[in-house]
Amino acid sequence: RSSDLHFLMAHGHATGWVLWHCQRYRFHQVPAYGEKNWGRAFPKRWFWLQCNAFDQQTEISLTAAGGHRQVLTWTETVGMVGLHHQGQFYEFVPWNATLSWRVSPWGDWYMTAERPEYVVELHGTTNHAGIGLRAPTQHGVMYCCHHTAQGQLSLSLWRKSSRGLSLVLQATSQQAALEIGGGPWCDPWHKPDA
């Protein structure tokens, strides 16, 4: 099955260079992330959190998103959390988990997901103004997205058992990518009340 939240490489490593303001920056085996767009089902409204640079911890990569999109003649709200940690992949998607979120028009992202075996909680914040980005719309590519790569993110993963929850992972970052797009974004977006 496909949730149409397409990421191609979430826990990869890259070697190469970037040219920025006439200066070449070389890098070797740095954490890397790559994705492709949502195709024809590009959402009318979405949010996104991504991080693979956590404070004092390695081998963690997180991608989380939610969107409201049209598919053929109906619309749906979908979301996902994908977490790589120490060689394991924890997937939270509509067919195996219950997802909820509260995302403000800018500055605050909160998301939880629960499966029979695990619970994950994410909280992203930023005081940065962010930048506008272009994204596909029904009227072509337009500035309809707001993004920062200087977000704060806290991540907690618990394992469920008959005795309750036991903490598997707790991590923070000051280098999270946080984004909202589409609209309208007049008020916070709550799911399950989406």
Q: What is the distance between the alpha carbons of residues 38 and 32, in angstroms, rounded to a whole number?
A: 20
Dist. CA 160–CA 108, nearest whole Å: 27
Query: Smallest Cα–Cα separation from 34: which of 2, 67, 9, 70?
Result: 9
Residue 14: the pLDDT is: 79
Q: pLDDT (tens digit, 9 = 90+) per residue, 73-94?
A: 888 899 999 999 998 999 999 9
The residue type of 126 is: T
Q: How confident is the model at residue 194 (pLDDT cuts 50, 70, 90)?
A: very low
Beta bridge partners of 148: 178
**pLDDT tens digits along 114-158:** 999 999 999 999 999 999 998 877 777 889 899 999 999 999 999
Structure tokens at 76: 């749906």
Q: Among 40-54, 151-165, 169-183, which stretch is predicted with the lowest mean pLDDT?
A: 40-54
Would you say 145 and 133 are in contact if contact means Cβ atoms under 8 Å apart?
yes
